[in-house]
Amino acid sequence: MTGGDQDILLDCEAVSCTLATSRGPLALLKDVTFRLGRRTALGIVGESGAGKSMLIKGIMGLTPSDITVAGRIGLDGEDMVAMPEARKRALLGRKVGMVFQNPMTSLNPFVRVGRQIDEASRLHLRLGKAEARARAIALLSQVGIPDPQECYAEYPHRFSGGMKQRIMIATALACEPELLIADEATTALDVTVQKDILDLLQALQGQRRMSMILVTHNLAVVASRTDELLVLYGGRVVEYGPTERVFAAPRHRYTEALLSAVPRMDEPAHTRLRTIPGRPPDPQDRPAGCPFAARCPAAEERCRQEMPGMTLDADGRHGFACFVPVPAPGPGATAARAEATS
């Protein structure tokens, strides 16, 4: 999220997603602003219902017809919100690859693996049949499929969950995307497989010099795999900044609570997982003020009345929307704590 515009791949400004209901418009996502640099990995985190998938659907033009997307979503300098549908499809198809939580919702069980990978590259890169096949087999090999030629000719249902997700990743890479988005891509998998898939995504991002967005409810997933972090709560960005800085010194009370709920390696195995007491607000009765007020141990009267604006730290890279932020650590403390978590 640094540098001039040339370095920015995705630029979201005041993005909102509003649902039309019989009782009037309902904001599911409001005023989401962030910039994603080229070759940068961004983690989007927050509890279930925070609006993470809604944001990704908004970016990908996948929102249902009763949801209106507003604001600016710039991809490589072009505003997709204002763009005709066909052009947007072509742009997204060429530049963005997507991996979902359940590979079977995006892989067609009745179509052979090879054809599913070839379809995208033949359409968007205009490759011939033989060329597309050779590339697909190379991709299957890169994502760690043991026998890529055999896999190419098989149906997806023949493979385990982890292997299906590898196939899904190969499909997402078919058009050499500049941005790979993984929305809870490992949530449905066994813990050991999760780590393998996350390591694969991280390696591919580096090798292919892509940008990546990892969407997750699990902060441990993004800790060592992303450069930047965006924390969503109640459909709003509550904190963002360089991942190391946010982990070392969170300023928003929600981020602090979320971080203290992540199990630490140095805790005994039987330690009970801490959770944040209470539940996130329903979009239908979100409070007028800070969305976290009902659960926040530091809440003051003002928090319930007014929406806190974004406060930026000295270099403008770390922002938080909180009236009573966690005190900033003294000089030197951030670096020391960052070292301790890495």
The nearest distance, CB 284 to ligand ADP, in angstroms, is: 9
Surface-to-core class of residue 297, CB atoms within 10 Å of its CB (0-12 exposed, 13-18 middle, 19+ buried): exposed
Nearest to 95 by CA among 64, 125, 126: 125
Residues 102, 104, 109, CA angle at the centre, nearest 5°?
A: 175
Is residue 308 a contact residue for ligand SF4 (CB under 6 A)?
A: yes
Residues 319-338 within binding reach of ligand SF4 (CB under 6 A): 322-324
Helices (H), 252-311: 253-260, 301-305
Q: How far is CA 287 from CA 134, 278, 304, in A?
A: 55, 15, 7
Least gap, CB of 324 to ligand SF4 (angstroms):
4
Output 142 or 165, the one with its CB closest to Mg ion.
165
| Nearest-approach distance from CB 22 to ligand ADP, in angstroms | 13
* Structure tokens that stand for 109 in this block: 């069980």
CA 11 centroid distance within chain: 14
- Note the residues at the interface with ligand ADP (CB under 6 A): 19, 28, 46, 48-54, 64, 283
Tokens 């497989």 correspond to: 193
Residue of 75, 16, 85 lying closest to 211 (CA atoms) = 75
Residue closer to ligand ADP by CB (options 127, 259) is 259
**Residue closer to Mg ion (CB basis): 30 or 251:** 30
Residues within window 214-253 making contact with ligand SF4, judged by CB under 6 A: 252-253
Q: For ligand ADP, give the closer residue by CB, 108 or 218.
A: 218
Distance CA 232, CA 104 (A): 27
* Near ligand SF4 by CB under 6 A: residue from 81, 148, 303, 318: 303
Of 52 and 122, nearer to Mg ion (C-beta) is 52
Which residue in 16, 53, 116, 243 binds Mg ion (CB under 5 A)? Answer: 53
Q: What's the min distance (Å) between Cβ of 301 and ligand SF4?
A: 10
Identify the CA nearest to 186 among candidates 163, 211, 203, 165.
165
Q: Which is nearer to Mg ion, 53 or 165 (CB)?
A: 53
Residue with tokens 């991996």: 99
**How many Å apart are CA 68 and CA 90, to the nearest integer?**
21
Decide if residue 88 touches ligand SF4 (CB under 6 A): no
Binding footprint of ligand SF4, residue count (CB under 6 A): 14
Both structure tokens of 242: 């360089």
Taking the C-alpha atoms of residue 305 and residue 307, their distance in angstroms, rounded to an integer, is 7
Handedness of CA 220, 221, 224, 227 (dihedral sign): negative
Q: Cβ closer to ligand SF4: 148 or 319?
A: 319
Q: Which of ligand SF4, ligand ADP, Mg ion, none has residue 296 at its interface (CB below 5 to 8 Å by kind)?
A: ligand SF4
Tell which positions 252-281 bind ligand SF4, by CB under 6 A: 252-254
| Partner from ligand SF4, ligand ADP, Mg ion, none binding residue 151, C-beta < 5-8 Å depending on class | none
Which spans of this chain sit near Mg ion (rule: CB under 5 A)? 52-53
Which spans of this chain sit near ligand SF4 (rule: CB under 6 A)? 252-254, 290, 292-293, 296, 298-299, 303, 308, 322-324
